[in-house]
Amino acid sequence: MHGAMKAIITASQLADDLTGDNPPVLLDVRWQLSVAKAAGEPGFDGRAEYAAGHVPGAVFVDLDEELASAPGERGRHPLPDTAVFGTAMRRAGVSAARPVVVYDGGQGWAAARAWWLLRWAGHPDVRVLDGGLPAWEGPLSTDVPAPAEGDFEPAPGAVGLLDANGAAALARSGVLLDARAGERYRGDVEPIDRVGGHIPGAVSAPTNENVGPDGRFLPAGDLRARFASLGASGEPEVGVYCGSGVSGAHEVLALAVAGIPAALYVGSWSEWSSDPSRPVAVGPDPQ
């Protein structure tokens, strides 16, 4: 279990660490959920944003291509092929003995997905820049670095991972949090997936309520209190899902800041709802 100091990092601490003896590898994972892109139309271009300016030394990582495999029956952002993921991380300079810091455009979801994947794959020291690029007070660069090849070899299984059956079981035996917006949980609207609603027994816990207006996480004590009010204190076991395993990773990160371990259902609602035989609950209540 990671505490707050190992899950996130402030911009000032990052600036200090970059001048230290073992500076972190920096990954830029700018990405946004785009209904247009989901429909096959042009969407947000993280690579163009990176090219326009990034934290000096940061390497761009493409969430759709390198932090997920192709969409299909396992959801819109299934786990990436381990070999593809490992190659991408080594290309970015990731090594087992060097810390990694990940950031995005400020929402935190994409950075959290990279954080979670690296943790799941066994990297011992990964943090997310709290507040993302908007929190960075140093200069930006348009230079594209060419880091030395890293040595990171993924060893999956270091943190909790749920499949559809495991998520359904956890909703009964423990606490399964739904990180999506409340209207999608209730089934009032569903802009992307086949049907709206939630996994029966899951508790609505929108991840955007884990951050303040500046995009930074709430203090650890406030997060603990919030999760405790939802029944999630670490006992019984806690799991999280969202639409496609991206904003859910952000909630797992928030839980880590609060000191609460949690498993992620990567397939999430995009996988669950694609199978008409799986039950769907609607409305504000878990059942």
Q: 28 has which bridge partners?
A: 60, 103
Given the residues 133, 242, 260, 263, select the one marked as catalytic: 242
Q: What is the residue-level pLDDT of the chain in tens, covering all 287 positions?
A: 334 448 999 999 999 999 999 999 999 999 987 654 555 566 788 999 999 999 999 999 999 999 999 999 899 999 999 999 999 999 999 999 999 999 999 999 999 999 999 999 999 999 999 999 999 999 999 999 999 999 999 999 999 999 999 999 999 999 999 999 999 999 999 988 889 999 999 999 999 999 999 999 999 999 999 999 999 998 899 999 999 999 999 999 999 999 999 999 999 999 999 999 999 999 999 98
Structure pTM? 0.94
What φ, ψ does residue 227 adopt, rounded to 5°? -65, -35
User: Is 233 tagged catalytic?
Assistant: no
170 close to 233: Cβ distance less than 8 angstroms:
no
d(CA 153, CA 122) in angstroms, rounded, equals 8
Write down the domain spans for the chain.
4-135, 161-272
| Dihedral sign (CA 79, 217, 184, 225) | positive
Burial class (CB in 10 A: 0-12, 13-18, 19+), 248: buried
Which listed CATH number (3.40.250.10, 3.30.1330.10, 3.10.20.600, 3.30.470.10) goes with 161-272? 3.40.250.10
Taking domain 4-135, whether its CATH number is 3.20.20.70 is answered by no
Position 175: which residue type? V
What φ, ψ does residue 60 adopt, rounded to 5°? -75, 135
Query: Do 4-135 and 161-272 agree at the fold level?
Result: yes
DSSP string, 187-225: TS--SSSSS--B-TT-EE--GGGGB-TTSPBPPHHHHHH
